[in-house]
Amino acid sequence: MTDPRTAYLELLRRSREIALLGSCSAVLSWDQQTFMPPAGTTFRGEQLAFLAGLSHQKATDPLLGELLTIVESSELMADPSSVEAGNIRELRHHYDRAVKLPQRLVEELARVTTLAQQIWQEARATNDFRLFQPHLEQILALKREEADAIGFTDQRYDALLDEYEPGLSTKTLQILFADLTAQLVPLIQRIQDCGRQPRREIFQREFPADRQRWFAESAAAAIGFDFQAGRLDTSTHPFCSGFGPGDCRITTRYNPHCFSEAFFSVLHEAGHGMYEQGLSAEQFGTPSGSYCSLGIHESQSRLWENQVGRSEPFWEHFYPRLQQAFPTALRDVSRQEFYFAINEIRPSYIRVEADEATYNLHIVLRFEVELDLLSGNLAVTDLPAAWNDRFRTMFGMMPTSDREGCLQDVHWSFGGIGYFPTYTLGNLYAAQFMEAAHQALPELNEEFRRGIFSSLKFWLSEKIYRHGRRFRAATLCRDATHQELTAKPFLKYLHGKAASVYNVC
Amino acid sequence: MTDPRTAYLELLRRSREIALLGSCSAVLSWDQQTFMPPAGTTFRGEQLAFLAGLSHQKATDPLLGELLTIVESSELMADPSSVEAGNIRELRHHYDRAVKLPQRLVEELARVTTLAQQIWQEARATNDFRLFQPHLEQILALKREEADAIGFTDQRYDALLDEYEPGLSTKTLQILFADLTAQLVPLIQRIQDCGRQPRREIFQREFPADRQRWFAESAAAAIGFDFQAGRLDTSTHPFCSGFGPGDCRITTRYNPHCFSEAFFSVLHEAGHGMYEQGLSAEQFGTPSGSYCSLGIHESQSRLWENQVGRSEPFWEHFYPRLQQAFPTALRDVSRQEFYFAINEIRPSYIRVEADEATYNLHIVLRFEVELDLLSGNLAVTDLPAAWNDRFRTMFGMMPTSDREGCLQDVHWSFGGIGYFPTYTLGNLYAAQFMEAAHQALPELNEEFRRGIFSSLKFWLSEKIYRHGRRFRAATLCRDATHQELTAKPFLKYLHGKAASVYNVC
């Protein structure tokens, strides 16, 4: 086993085993959210816990550490951009995170967050922050412990962010987000001041669920989601789950009185799904066959949902078809009116209902609050007031309840501290990728007008999908766009949208 | 670990782990047959093979053998009818079967049968037995090896039968089946000779699939299948899969031009499902929380499908509702005509399409053929001719192709030698249980007429469901019916049916 080649192959074999366990859990979780009968909940929890235990056992096997030591000092690392070096780098990253966490901490986090998610649901339903408060305090204490166990050089938050966006620093985020906020806030203000409004009621007309499904499914197929290797089902919260080669499931929910909800969530999930479907099947279960980071994953969903799905060329193709699918609801609605309605920019309280501009202020707020909570600058008991103050400063309006404020998201209850920023990273990466794609493929808009999306998908496949996690996000971004991650393309995109929709610059 | 109590608990813990792995495989298999996209096949195979490997590893862990030795010589075995003694007896049985098979044989059987199933499909589709012949020869050679590795005292077939119907001997089967055939053949002949025929065309009218689903689902719920803890979906071949406590899935397929296909298969699978749902949740993963044998499992499906579902009292309740559900198709069909049509007894070539009387001749034929193939008295090359000869002797007609003959069933291609008899055992047990239930609950038919099925379900729960595998099938049968397994109640039932439907005694 001292031969580095042999050690490397054994590492990959073990990595694939862990991935197979994960893929079984993915099937079980998908089923839980789509078809599982209600009485199955407890037992499904036992199945998932058992698989998670097996997976943790395999991920922390000391032999992995020994194998890593052998390959790290070998010629396999000679070229840092090789598949082998990328795999080894990421396997080490994953192994270190896994073994640095004491078993006791892992178990306590699991226990505390399982309960906290239940309590959070209750707290949100009854608008009672005090119910959730002690649980959030416990979670923060454990996440501080986690960050300390993982280790960091600059800020504690780095260690948590690193789980979702490996290699990105809090410092970089702070600079990016400051830039973004500085331009977003006045832009949104100018839009509000201009006084123009779309016909909002057109979305609240009758859009039968089965027709919505049919239309969304055909649009997802048109942009390139492969239904031979995937499905669209219904669940309470839309999601995408790539089980493995040839099988990726996406879900949505249908509101017969709101067309845009399901449709854009299907484009979003199909974007995630196309990324999963585009990963290398041969490299399944190794880092090179896995998604790069949550920010990059989210860029793929946002790109299709917003950059493509809310563009004029897209609807030049699809709007006549949409009118045919819903003749009664859309007979008296022009394409321009529809385009305005799907691109309305307007401050609102709830993140998941926000437009593509104000959405990012929701994220910046959460990022800042997380930093303060983790450092202890903000006590959990003061969270509701602090949230509302910041919200007023950023959005110019004040939540009237914690359900509309700091209780709205599930993330903290499952311990997802450091997760929110990846949503806005997705928006920034998406705009940056799209700008580069338009430069490389000047015919793109013309193709969209004719309902052709294959050039873009092929470009994404070349630049992003096929690399998996071989490169870190920063490298992937630089290679694909010839510049570092920056908010400029996104801001340019939003200014263009504001100009075309609101006549505001 | 020398303390027998501790050893016993550790045995149960390990048994539950193996069952949890099995339950994950069950979810994946169900998904494969209901919702999985076509391109997912290869990867699903990898997932299932991986789980099977983990399970085999755990099932053959030598520590299990050591733990068994400790508990077997302890006071836990003092009362052979205790849960503990039952669990230990069955865990030993399972462990011995698992470790007696050499790893090489297990892998070769997996490899050979995976290919053979593919080839069998092709052979059946093209009606070309010679394609399948070498594969069946290989399978038989491996199954002989398997039987020899397991060991037997009387006949080789015993060792194979023991996998599906633990404790039952080939000798007993031969006596039972001889009895059965001796009376069945002349009874069927008398029915054919009487010349009466039902209006067969009534089933070929328009029965829209969605209405069929609705009606079958409501009937399954009425007899006691719990949809809070289960689902009904669509698959190519109907099946039932109990994942674990609170979650049991059944499937069927709908033919809009044949009402009886889906309806009786739903009753059948719901019968299996109620058994699974009635197993002890606390004892999940241990023998006492698992089904007793395939024959007993089948008895639960046949009981609801035939004994109840083709009875007059059942349709006195359901027929007016069926007419309401399908007013056009059934307007001019009386309940008596309908009852005749669902109880037609008529020889046919295909087992799965056979009525409840002739069905058993199909099984007896397969049993005799299997015995001869295994012993070598019948060469595989002579199988088609031997099949057809026997068929003519038993049914008075001759298959015109091997698709209608020895190529019709999948079982041999997956190595299921010794499996077929459990189907007829199910019929015999079902009749014997039902006779005992009627004796214990004289109001039963009156309840069925009013659409009440809970007394019967409760009786089955008491006598069968809740015991799991604590007792062997022979004991379970004796305790529930106060007699040994016998063909008499089934023959009595069939003679009654023949009298009521055909006026033939």
> Across the interface, do B37 and A229 touch by the CB < 8 Å criterion?
yes
User: Least CB-CB distance to A39: which of B23, B37, B247?
Assistant: B247
- Stated length of chain B: 505
Taking only Cα atoms into account, the Rg of chain B, rounded to an integer number of angstroms, comes to: 23
Chain centroid to Cα A11, Å, comes to: 29
> Across the interface, do B229 and A40 touch by the CB < 8 Å criterion?
yes
User: Least CB-CB distance to B37: which of A21, A24, A247?
Assistant: A247
Q: What angle do CA B91, B94, B99 make, to 5 degrees?
A: 120
pLDDT > 70: percent of chain B:
100
Picking from A276, A293, A269, A228, the residue whose alpha carbon sits closest to that of residue A33 is A269
Query: How many residue pairs bridge chain A and chain B with CB atoms within 8 Å of each other?
Result: 102
Cα–Cα distance for residue pair B13/B32, rounded to 1 Å: 29
In the structure encoding, which two tokens stand for residue B345, read together?
A: 């007894």
Whether chain B has a CB inside 8 Å of the CB on A229: the answer is yes
In the structure encoding, which two tokens stand for residue A250, read together?
A: 């996406």
> Across the interface, do B43 and A246 touch by the CB < 8 Å criterion?
yes
Q: What angle do CA B403, B404, B409 make, to 5 degrees?
A: 70
Residue recorded with tokens 């699991």 = A110
SS3 B287: helix
User: Least CB-CB distance to B230: which of A28, A37, A229?
Assistant: A37
CA distance B284 to chain A (A): 10
Note every long-range contact of A452-458, with CB atoms under 8 Å and residues 24 or more positions apart, other chains counting.
Answer: A453/A222, A453/A223, A453/A224, A453/A308, A454/A224, A456/A308, A457/A223, A457/A224, A457/A274, A457/A278
CB of A36 within 8 A of CB of B248? no
> Across the interface, do A247 and B42 touch by the CB < 8 Å criterion?
no
Residue A1 has what pLDDT?
55
Whether chain A has a CB inside 8 Å of the CB on B230: the answer is yes
Q: What is the rounded average pLDDT of the residues A124-148?
A: 97
Three-state SS sequence of B21-55: HHHHHHHHHHHHHHCCCHHHHHHHHHHHHHHHHHH
Note every long-range contact of A476-482, with CB atoms under 8 Å and residues 24 or more positions apart, other chains counting.
Answer: A476/A292, A476/A296, A477/A429, A477/A432, A477/A433, A480/A433, A480/A436, A481/A432, A481/A433, A481/A435, A481/A436, A482/A436
CA distance B65 to chain A (A): 23
CA distance B28 to chain A (A): 7
Whether chain A has a CB inside 8 Å of the CB on B40: the answer is yes
Whether chain A has a CB inside 8 Å of the CB on B210: the answer is no
CA distance B177 to chain A (A): 41
User: Least CB-CB distance to A20: which of B35, B50, B230?
Assistant: B50
Q: What is the rounded average pLDDT of the residues A344-355?
A: 96
pLDDT digits (tens, 9 = 90+) for A357-387: 999 999 999 999 999 999 999 999 999 999 9
Choose the mutation target among A16, A17, A30, A31 for the interface with B, i.e. most B CBs under 10 Å.
A31
Domain ranges of chain A: 1-100, 200-349+422-502
CB of B48 within 8 A of CB of B31? no
Beta strands in B193-281 (DSSP E): 230-234, 240-244, 247-252
- Please report residues of A whose CB lies closer than 8 A to that of B28: 24, 27
Active site residues of B: 269
Whether chain B has a CB inside 8 Å of the CB on A245: the answer is yes
pLDDT digits (tens, 9 = 90+) for A200-233: 999 999 999 999 999 999 999 999 999 999 999 9
Residue A431 has pLDDT above 90, yes or no: yes
Picking from B319, B318, B305, B302, the residue whose alpha carbon sits closest to that of residue B222 is B318
User: Least CB-CB distance to B229: which of A37, A54, A243?
Assistant: A37
Cα–Cα distance for residue pair A216/A229, rounded to 1 Å: 17
> Across the interface, do B37 and A233 touch by the CB < 8 Å criterion?
no
> Across the interface, do A20 and B44 touch by the CB < 8 Å criterion?
no
Whether chain A has a CB inside 8 Å of the CB on B13: the answer is no
Q: What angle do CA A495, A496, A502 make, to 5 degrees?
A: 80
> Across the interface, do B246 and A27 touch by the CB < 8 Å criterion?
no
pLDDT band at A141 (very low <50, low <70, confident <90, very high): very high
The count of other CB atoms within 10 Å of the CB of residue A457 is 18
ipTM tops the 0.90 cut: yes
In chain B, the residue whose alpha carbon lies closest to the alpha carbon of A282 is B43
The count of other CB atoms within 10 Å of the CB of residue B180 is 22
Residue B159 has what pLDDT?
97
- Alpha helix stretches (DSSP H) within B349-453: 359-375, 383-395, 421-440, 444-449
Whether chain B has a CB inside 8 Å of the CB on A40: the answer is yes
> Across the interface, do A229 and B39 touch by the CB < 8 Å criterion?
yes
Whether chain B has a CB inside 8 Å of the CB on A24: the answer is yes
pLDDT digits (tens, 9 = 90+) for B126-163: 999 999 999 999 999 999 999 999 999 999 999 999 99
Whether chain B has a CB inside 8 Å of the CB on A37: the answer is yes
Chain centroid to Cα A356, Å, comes to: 14
Cα–Cα distance for residue pair A282/B265, rounded to 1 Å: 41
Picking from B277, B261, B265, the residue whose alpha carbon sits closest to that of residue B226 is B277
- Alpha helix stretches (DSSP H) within A60-169: 62-72, 83-100, 103-126, 129-150, 156-164
CA distance B235 to chain A (A): 15
pLDDT digits (tens, 9 = 90+) for B26-48: 999 999 999 999 999 999 999 99
- Residues 281-310 of chain B with CB under 8 A from chain A are 284
Cα–Cα distance for residue pair A477/B208, rounded to 1 Å: 54
Q: What is the rounded average pLDDT of the residues B63-90?
A: 97
Whether chain B has a CB inside 8 Å of the CB on A235: the answer is no
In chain B, the residue whose alpha carbon lies closest to the alpha carbon of A22 is B47
Residue A2 has what pLDDT?
78
Q: Which DSSP letter does residue A244 get?
A: E
SS3 B14: helix
Whether chain A has a CB inside 8 Å of the CB on B62: the answer is no
Active site residues of A: 269
CB of B327 within 8 A of CB of B357? no
- Stated length of chain A: 505
CA distance B168 to chain A (A): 33
User: Least CB-CB distance to A40: which of B36, B50, B247?
Assistant: B247
pLDDT band at B1 (very low <50, low <70, confident <90, very high): low
Crossing angle of helices B473-481/B421-440, nearest 10°?
20
CA distance A284 to chain B (A): 10
- Please report residues of B whose CB lies closer than 8 A to that of A31: 27, 31
Q: Which DSSP letter does residue B304 get?
A: I
CB contact set of B408 (below 8 Å; sequence gap of 6+): B124, B349, B350, B351
Cα–Cα distance for residue pair A401/B378, rounded to 1 Å: 81
Mean pLDDT for chain A?
96
pLDDT digits (tens, 9 = 90+) for B320-375: 999 999 999 999 999 999 999 999 999 999 999 999 999 999 999 999 999 999 99
Residue B197 has pLDDT above 70, yes or no: yes
CB of B173 within 8 A of CB of B367? yes
Picking from B297, B280, B294, the residue whose alpha carbon sits closest to that of residue B12 is B280
The topology under which CATH files domain A200-349+422-502 is Neurolysin; domain 3 (1.10.1370)
Whether chain A has a CB inside 8 Å of the CB on B226: the answer is yes
Taking only Cα atoms into account, the Rg of chain A, rounded to an integer number of angstroms, comes to: 23
Picking from B435, B465, B441, B466, the residue whose alpha carbon sits closest to that of residue B455 is B441
Cα–Cα distance for residue pair A392/A386, rounded to 1 Å: 10
CB of A87 within 8 A of CB of A288? yes
Choose the mutation target among B15, B27, B276 for the interface with A, i.e. most A CBs under 10 Å.
B27
Ramachandran angles phi, psi of B252, nearest 5°: -150, -175
> Across the interface, do A243 and B40 touch by the CB < 8 Å criterion?
yes
Q: What is the rounded average pLDDT of the residues A17-43?
A: 96
In the structure encoding, which two tokens stand for residue A404, read together?
A: 């509309």
Q: What angle do CA A53, A57, A63 make, to 5 degrees?
A: 170
Q: Which DSSP letter does residue A358 get?
A: T
